[in-house]
Amino acid sequence: MAANNTPHGCGPNVDSLYYNLCDLDAVWGIVLEAFASAGIVFSIVLFMALLASIPFTQDKNRKSSVGLHAWFLFFTMGLFCLTFAFIVGKDFSTCASRRFLFGVLFSGCFACLLMQCVRLNILARQNSGPRPWALGLGAMALWLVEVVINTEWLIITIVRHPQGPLNATAETSTATATPCNIANKDFVMALIYVMTLILAVVVASLAIMAGKHNKWKKDGAFILLTSLVSVGIWVAWIAMYVYGNERRGGPTWDDPTLAIALVANGWAFLILYSIPDMCSLSGDDDSQQSFGDDLYPNRGVGYETILKEQSSQNMFMENKAFSMDEPNQGSKPVSPYSGYTGQVRGSVYQPTELAIISKGGGIHPPDVSYDMIIPRASASSAADSGSSTPSTCTDSSSTAHTNGHSGNGLQRTSQW
């Protein structure tokens, strides 16, 4: 008879508590089991990818949200794990975990989303977000409120229905030991704080759209969409759990309703918020542009600055470095125009005849610089050498020969 009572798809050694996990006639358990398992795996993959993307995130404002996002993925993975408690049968441990963890895990997810909204509101207005530890403490404070509420509620309800005496029958002891004998409306009323967090996330995400920095409005739009979908899911399962099951499906639909709510909301968190937020961490154009600017901060600006600040004199001084290996210019012929510097004639000092006379110009012949003498061809030297190339010589007597005296005593010397 035990073999005949075993559902189709379950083995004879499977406990009756886990029939919904393998019963092919109850398809909802197998489908939800598959979606919940896939959600757990996907949450772990996203969590590892989030940690791996930290070294590649250049924007500090985006990196400050990694801690909140990690906790959000942890609570989302807990929602998928809690789904199995609603798929399997009822006993003390499963009923206690249902009543306690349902509100605790959802409050953790929405507390992280609410603090993300606070961060984005500040960024959308000031473009400078708060510190990560402040965001973490805020999310923990919001989450601990639901932990305290559910702990107190669970203790009171279990004390109200204590375990039966030791000499009682097994059936009576099981009925009084399970904390599942609670009305559906009481279960929903215990989640009022979570509903308050959902509404706060909706309002805070709408406030992000009023900011002046459009860069952060995109992130706020994803949180707004996630919160609106969550509101729809909660309205649907509460209406079905409180009113629909009593009129249509009966108590047998209570567990599938709550399990579907967990799986649907968990996948909404992953698809509508986690994946877009991780894409913005690794593929932000502004962070890549700032990273490139840090590598080459003075490429274009430095060259233009050099062109503006450098004068022709500086360029001449730099170009003189190429002429350091050239031979000495003193041994080369000097042109009579070598002294020309391009300055205006009025700026060149020209002594007057009176100044020359006062310095004894009539007695002492003016000094002639060696550099101002132009070599000339000598006919006698050319004839003696017998070559066609005239030799160059300097005649010191010709430089001292005077062509005449001016009336004021100024002596003129010839350089040829």
For residue 168, what are the contacts with CB-CB under 8 A and spacing of at least 6? Answer: 176
Residue 199 within any structural domain of the chain: yes
Residue 293 within any structural domain of the chain: no
Distance of alpha carbon 151 from alpha carbon 395, whole angstroms: 121
As a whole number, mean pLDDT of residues 161-168 equals: 47
Residue 193 within any structural domain of the chain: yes
Chain mean position to CA 390: 81
Residue 144 within any structural domain of the chain: yes
- Confidence tier at 295 by pLDDT (50, 70, 90): very low
Residue 235 belongs to a domain with what CATH number? 1.20.1070.10
Cβ(193)–Cβ(107) below 8 Å: yes
Cβ(39)–Cβ(80) below 8 Å: yes
373 or 181: which leads in pLDDT? 181
Q: Structure pTM?
A: 0.65
E-strand spans in 33-144? none
Instruction: Say whether pLDDT at 310 is over 60.
Output: no
Residue 287 within any structural domain of the chain: no
Chain mean position to CA 212: 19
> Into how many domains does the chain fold?
1
- Condensed to tens digits (0 to 9), the pLDDT of residues 234-266 reads 999 999 999 887 777 667 888 899 999 999 999
Least confident span in 30-44, 188-202, 348-362, 396-410:
396-410
Distance of alpha carbon 411 from alpha carbon 402, whole angstroms: 7
- Condensed to tens digits (0 to 9), the pLDDT of residues 317-337 reads 444 444 455 455 545 555 555
Residue 178 within any structural domain of the chain: yes
Instruction: Say whether pLDDT at 341 is over 90.
Output: no
Q: Which domain holds residue 215?
A: 16-280
